[in-house]
């Protein structure tokens, strides 16, 4: 067994118990239902903005996009305008593909080595991580957006439409939202990769398992509430609307499971800015992807460019003049 | 090379599952056991070379010794160095923060594929430095190191001597080829992290000699081999004699000619070592042809006689110092624009850095090919054109008379050099030139060419003799793909547009695919080009009989 995932697993479990017992046993509804959520959102916002501003404050001295296709050169050579853009429009398309479709990950291959048979190194297309990651992120996004029904009254039509689409597969009652189980399964898949893929296991730290367990916990408690324990939706909406309108109320009859769910979400929010989850903001700022490949065509300034010592031609000639003259090479100063 | 592994022994070592070799379960634990192993590293920089450049902490030292003779305050120097670079480079800062350790890059590095060493997974190479960053520069790190076991949970560690040695070892087992960056969902470029890492190591005097000495030579004499001006001229004249033997035409080049149309700069490897020398002869033949037919005036320079920029493997500052010569010489000579030869990292520097570091070159004209009238818009600011762009343009406009049959014995494939491929996107131009000089061209498998091309294993200054095991292991993925087309199509020549490739790939072919030769693209051009007034050729530039000739 491995402490790198046992510790985070235990931590998430303890966090759950803390909230559950805190509410059920000690009656700390206000702490877990009001104070922590507010605090978490605050930490999230401040942390996120600080981090992004910190990145933005650093210079981008050189244009160093990773080019993944033919450059723009001679008019009759077909440029790959998306993977090797030389205009902002091209960069925009590249970034859209990157952010919404995880284009680079889509390229992923898996290497295998066949000792003895023919000693071949072979590469096969490895789509599962892409599928898993895409499912995970879109399911997460859908679930998140769906939750806006708890913070809005009346519920905007776009949210209602999203719910309609999400619930279009009807399986029993209440209507199943596909996003929930997909999120849970995708997170379990990502966890499985970390545990069973030897390479990924080797590079994984507790900090990689912790958010996964958190999200699994959140998804599981959410699903449990919706389909199995049947929580008091009216009461919950009262509480969430109270939070949204800054006039918090604690309704009767909402059980510990709900508070535990909210607490895990709060922990995720608070944890977000200091963790690798910040890739969400970073993907927009990655200089290898978000710059045009036009460095030879356009001049770009380096904000901290400074003069350096160089070995000038004059010094060079001084050093080698006799030899140059003897060899018949032209010189600036003859003697 | 007798202590070297045989190919079979090297293949035996490959295993892609990290744990099977009894590696400790957390790589953070292995620091103490970092084994710097001969064959896998380059010798330390000589004090002399470091001194010439005025770089810090010049001394004789040996990586195998316990004592690396570091300055007293090395930790502080590194700490400040990291801090400064976090502000200067958004790449560095973002890349330190956003990796999710998804592992998509893990099996993309040729060094991992060739050695199976888990620390050669790009993500882990970066984590070596990231673990220090997390510990010392992040809020989470500052909190967690106060909690017992907290560092471990976060994947953070203190900057210890062992950690430093490990970083040195693995940052000099990266050729800065950027293949990993193609696959990363956030575009994390481990090469960029390696560049920062090496720059940091340099601050405390931890360079390798195969970089420091070429840099110091480039700085003093203009080229990495330290060829002095008269000797440089002699070497080219030696080629001129050979060409005259083969073609009957005198292709003597001009040096430092003021007012020439174009300044030509190529890596000095082309002047010095086979098979680059044949490529160099190709340039000479091309320029002679253009002079005779169209009056194009090209000059070489002994001062700016190195396109390759080993400074790139040292620090941004050193890169700038070496690169400055190109513009300085173009300005002094009053040429219109600059033409660059076949070189990998030279072009990465020219394409992505030069104009920003040493430009704008407003004393030069936007490059126009005077023969075809083509305006090289893509080089409008740097004023520097790649020779395959130039030659492809000439061929397209029917300005070159080429006799493909002289290359009929060559069954070609093309190795995209990492830097032009992933730092520039120069993919189709060289192919176009090859296809117009030779009828037999086959691509290697799709996962190993173009932006997914594999490194020669000896880039970024790792082309030394003492790290042969590392080089051959790193070259395996390239060689493996080459072997495939060699067996399938009878490919016997690997074309490339990089001087390090021409040197490194020749060694790798000898080791892994003995029947394949390496050739620069302009060697093929030189063979195929029909020079005005030439005699009937019976030999190619390697002085081997032309196809069909030996039977007569
Ligand atoms: S592919 Fe990118 S995010 Fe994934 S492990 Fe590698 S560097 Fe990190
Ligand atoms: S840049 Fe190249 S050598 Fe370095 S880690 Fe990435 S793939 Fe490996």
Q: Long-range contacts: B58-66, Cβ < 8 Å, 24+? A: B58/B205, B59/B205, B61/B205, B63/B36, B63/B165, B63/B168, B63/B169, B64/B36, B64/B38
**Alpha-carbon gap, residue B417 to B496, rounded angstroms:** 7
Task: Tell me the CA distances in angstroms from A118 to A122, B422, B484, one per residue in order.
Answer: 11, 30, 10
Range A106-126 burial, b when 16+ CB lie within 10 A, else e: bbbbbbebeeeeebebebeeb
Closest C-alpha residue for ligand 2 atom 2: B177
Q: Which of B99, B109, B267, B268 is nearest to B178 (CA)?
A: B109
Confidence at A74, pLDDT banded by 50, 70, 90: very high
Q: Which of B527, B374, B9, B346 is nearest to A77 (CA)?
A: B374
Chain A positions in Cβ-Cβ contact with residue B328 (cut-off 8 Å) = 310, 312-313
Contacts for B300 with CB less than 8 Å, ≥ 6 apart: B236, B253, B254, B255, B256, B263, B264
- pLDDT of B1: 44
- pLDDT of A166: 86
Q: Which of B99, B90, B68, B425 is nearest to A205 (CA)?
A: B99
Chain B positions in Cβ-Cβ contact with residue A8 (cut-off 8 Å) = 153
Beta-strand pair A120-125/A109-114? antiparallel
For the CA atoms of chain B, what is the radius of gyration?
24
Q: Is B174 in the pocket of ligand 2 (CB under 6 A)?
A: yes
For the CA of B121, the nearest ligand: 2
Low-confidence ranges of chain B (pLDDT < 50): 1-2, 552
> Crossing angle, helix A3-24 and helix A256-271, to 10 degrees?
130
Return the H-helix or E-strand segment holding B298. strand B298-300
Pocket of ligand 1, candidates B92, B95, B97, B104: which has the most ligand atoms within 8 Å of its Cβ, to mutate? B104
* Per-residue tokens: B176: 């800065």
| 3 state SS of B413 | strand
Nearest residue of chain B to residue A7 (CA atoms): B153
Report residue B287: phi and psi, to 5°: -65, -35
Range A294-325 burial, b when 16+ CB lie within 10 A, else e: bbbbebbebeeeeebebbebeebbeebbeebe
CB atoms under 10 Å from CB of A192, counted, come to: 12
CB atoms under 10 Å from CB of B259, counted, come to: 10
Q: Which of B303, B370, B347 is nearest to B355 (CA)?
A: B347
Is residue B59 within 8 angstroms of chain A, CB to CB?
no
Are B90 and A326 within 8 A, CB to CB?
no
Q: What is the pLDDT of residues A262-302, one digit of tens each?
A: 999 999 999 999 999 999 999 999 999 999 999 999 999 99
Q: What is the mean pLDDT of residues A294-312?
A: 93
CB atoms under 10 Å from CB of A223, counted, come to: 17
Are B355 and A311 within 8 A, CB to CB?
no
**Alpha-carbon gap, residue B376 to B366, rounded angstroms:** 7
> Per DSSP, what are the bridge partners of residue B529?
B402
Q: Where are the alpha helices (DSSP H) in A116-156?
A: 128-146
* Per-residue tokens: A81: 């305008």
- pLDDT of A1: 46
- pLDDT of B18: 78
Min Cα separation A74/chain B (Å): 7
Q: Which of B175, B160, B23, B184 is nearest to B102 (CA)?
A: B184
**Alpha-carbon gap, residue A269 to A290, rounded angstroms:** 27
Cis peptide before B360 (omega within 30 of 0): yes
Q: What is the mean pLDDT of residues A14-43?
A: 93
| 3 state SS of B461 | coil
Q: Which of A87, A84, A194, A179 is nearest to A135 (CA)?
A: A179
**Alpha-carbon gap, residue B493 to A218, rounded angstroms:** 59
- pLDDT of B463: 87
**Alpha-carbon gap, residue B507 to B493, rounded angstroms:** 14
Task: Tell me the CA distances in angstroms from A12 to A16, A211, B145, B147, B256, one per residue in order.
Answer: 6, 9, 21, 18, 71
Closest C-alpha residue for ligand 1 atom 4: B102
Chain B positions in Cβ-Cβ contact with residue A278 (cut-off 8 Å) = 97-98
Strand runs (DSSP E) across B301-355, as ranges? 337-340
* DSSP state letters, A174-200: SPPPTHHHHHHHHHHHHHHHHHHSHHH
Closest C-alpha residue for ligand 2 atom 3: B174
**Alpha-carbon gap, residue B458 to A4, rounded angstroms:** 36
Is residue B321 within 8 angstroms of chain A, CB to CB?
yes
ipTM given for this complex: 0.93
- pLDDT of B273: 84
Task: Tell me the CA distances in angstroms from A128 to A105, B109, B420, one per residue in order.
Answer: 10, 20, 31
**Alpha-carbon gap, residue B319 to B310, rounded angstroms:** 7
* DSSP state letters, A78-105: PP-TTTS--SHHHHHHHHHHHHHH-HHH
- Report angle CA B423, B130, A190 to the nearest 5 degrees: 85
**Alpha-carbon gap, residue A161 to A40, rounded angstroms:** 29
Q: Is B186 in the pocket of ligand 1 (CB under 6 A)?
A: yes
* Per-residue tokens: B159: 């900057």
Q: What is the pLDDT of residues A160-202, one digit of tens each?
A: 999 888 887 766 566 788 899 999 999 999 999 999 998 999 9
Cis peptide before A154 (omega within 30 of 0): yes
Chain A positions in Cβ-Cβ contact with residue B185 (cut-off 8 Å) = 98, 102, 104-105, 133, 279, 283
Residue with tokens 């003597």: B252
Beta-strand pair B337-340/A120-125? unpaired
- pLDDT of B33: 61
**Alpha-carbon gap, residue B50 to B207, rounded angstroms:** 9
**Alpha-carbon gap, residue B247 to B252, rounded angstroms:** 13
Chain A positions in Cβ-Cβ contact with residue B188 (cut-off 8 Å) = 286, 288
Closest C-alpha residue for ligand 2 atom 5: B122
Of A121, A316, A317, the CB nearest to B113: A121
**Residue B26 DSSP label:** S
**How far does residue B188's CA lie from ligand 2's centre (Å)?**
11
**Alpha-carbon gap, residue B443 to B455, rounded angstroms:** 16
- pLDDT of B341: 95
Q: Which of A282, A274, A192, A219 is nearest to B153 (CA)?
A: A274
Are A105 and B152 within 8 A, CB to CB?
no
């Amino acid at each position: 067994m491995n402490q790198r995932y046992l510790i985070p697993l235990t931590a998430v479990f303890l966090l759950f118990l803390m909230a559950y017992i805190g509410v059920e046993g000690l009656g700390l509804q206000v702490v877990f239902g009001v104070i922590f959520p507010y605090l978490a959102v605050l930490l999230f916002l401040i942390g996120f903005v600080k981090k992004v501003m910190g990145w933005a404050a650093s210079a981008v001295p050189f244009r160093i996009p990773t080019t993944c296709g033919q450059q723009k050169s001679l008019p009759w050579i077909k440029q790959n305008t998306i993977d090797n853009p030389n205009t902002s429009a091209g960069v925009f398309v590249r970034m859209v593909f990157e952010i919404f479709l995880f284009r680079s990950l889509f390229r992923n291959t898996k290497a295998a080595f066949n000792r003895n048979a023919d000693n071949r190194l072979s590469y096969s297309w490895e789509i599962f991580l892409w599928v898993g990651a895409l499912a995970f992120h879109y399911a997460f996004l859908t679930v998140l957006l769906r939750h806006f029904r708890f913070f809005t009254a009346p519920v905007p039509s776009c949210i209602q439409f999203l719910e309609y689409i999400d619930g279009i597969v009807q399986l029993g009652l209440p209507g199943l939202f596909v996003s929930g189980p997909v999120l849970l399964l995708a997170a379990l898949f990502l966890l499985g990769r970390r545990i069973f893929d030897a390479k990924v296991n080797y590079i994984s730290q507790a900090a990689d398992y912790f958010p996964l367990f958190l999200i699994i916990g959140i998804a599981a408690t959410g699903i449990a509430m919706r389909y199995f324990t049947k929580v008091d939706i009216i009461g919950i909406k009262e509480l969430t609307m109270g939070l949204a309108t800054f006039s918090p109320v604690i309704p009767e009859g909402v059980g510990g499971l709900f508070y535990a769910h909210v607490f895990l979400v709060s922990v995720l929010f608070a944890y977000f800015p200091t963790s690798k989850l910040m890739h969400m903001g970073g993907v927009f700022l990655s200089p290898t992807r978000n710059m045009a490949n036009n460095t030879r065509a356009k001049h770009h300034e380096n904000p901290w460019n400074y003069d350096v010592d160089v070995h000038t031609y004059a010094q060079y000639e001084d050093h080698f003049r006799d030899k140059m003259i003897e060899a018949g090479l032209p010189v600036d100063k003859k003697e | 090379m007798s202590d070297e592994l045989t190919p079979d022994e090297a293949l035996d070592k490959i295993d892609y599952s990290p744990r099977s070799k009894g590696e400790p379960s957390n790589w953070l634990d292995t620091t103490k056991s970092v084994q710097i192993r001969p064959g896998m590293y380059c010798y330390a920089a000589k004090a002399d070379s470091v001194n010439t450049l005025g770089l810090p902490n010049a001394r004789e030292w040996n990586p195998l010794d316990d004592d690396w003779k570091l300055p007293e305050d090395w930790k502080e120097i590194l700490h400040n160095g990291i801090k400064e670079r976090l502000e200067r480079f958004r790449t560095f800062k973002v890349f330190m923060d956003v990796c999710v350790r998804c592992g998509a890059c893990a099996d993309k590095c040729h060094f991992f594929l060739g050695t199976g060493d888990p620390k050669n997974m790009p993500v882990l190479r970066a984590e070596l430095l990231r673990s220090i960053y997390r510990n010392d520069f992040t809020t989470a790190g500052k909190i967690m190191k106060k909690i017992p076991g907290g560092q471990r949970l976060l994947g953070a560690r203190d900057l210890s001597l062992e950690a430093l040695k490990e970083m040195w070892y693995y940052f000099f087992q990266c050729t800065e080829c950027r293949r990993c960056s193609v696959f990363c969902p956030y575009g994390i470029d481990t090469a960029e992290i390696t560049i920062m890492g090496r720059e940091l190591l340099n601050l405390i005097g931890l360079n390798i000699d195969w970089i420091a000495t070429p840099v110091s030579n480039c700085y003093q004499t203009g080229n990495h081999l330290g060829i002095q001006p008269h000797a440089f001229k002699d070497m080219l004249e030696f080629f001129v004699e050979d060409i005259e033997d083969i073609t009957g035409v005198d292709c003597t080049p001009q040096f430092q000619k003021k007012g020439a149309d174009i300044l030509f700069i190529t890596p000095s490897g082309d002047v010095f070592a086979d098979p680059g020398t044949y490529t160099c002869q190709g340039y000479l033949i091309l320029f002679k042809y253009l002079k005779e037919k169209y009056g194009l005036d090209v000059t070489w320079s002994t001062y700016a006689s190195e396109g390759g920029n080993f400074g790139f493997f040292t620090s941004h500052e050193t890169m700038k110092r070496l690169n400055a010569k190109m513009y300085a010489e173009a300005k002094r000579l009053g040429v219109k624009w600059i033409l660059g030869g076949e070189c990998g990292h030279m072009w990465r520097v020219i394409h992505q850095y030069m104009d920003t570091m040493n430009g704008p070159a407003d004393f030069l004209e936007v490059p126009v090919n005077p023969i075809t009238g083509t305006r090289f818009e893509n080089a409008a600011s740097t004023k520097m054109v790649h020779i395959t762009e130039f030659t492809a343009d000439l061929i397209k406009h029917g300005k070159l008379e080429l006799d493909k049959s002289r290359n009929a014995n060559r069954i070609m494939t093309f190795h995209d050099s990492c830097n032009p491929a992933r730092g520039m996107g120069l993919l189709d131009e060289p192919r176009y030139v090859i296809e117009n000089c030779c009828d037999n061209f086959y691509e290697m498998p799709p996962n190993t060419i173009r932006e997914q091309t594999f490194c020669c294993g000896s880039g970024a200054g790792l082309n030394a003799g003492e790290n042969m095991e590392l080089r051959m292991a790193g070259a395996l993925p390239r060689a493996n793909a080459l072997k495939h087309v060699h067996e399938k199509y009878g490919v016997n020549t690997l074309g490339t547009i990089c001087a390090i490739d021409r040197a490194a790939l020749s060694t790798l072919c000898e080791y892994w695919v003995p029947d394949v030769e390496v050739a620069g693209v302009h060697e093929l051009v030189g063979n195929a080009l029909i020079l005005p007034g030439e005699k009937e050729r019976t030999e190619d530039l390697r002085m081997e009989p032309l196809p069909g000739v030996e039977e007569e």
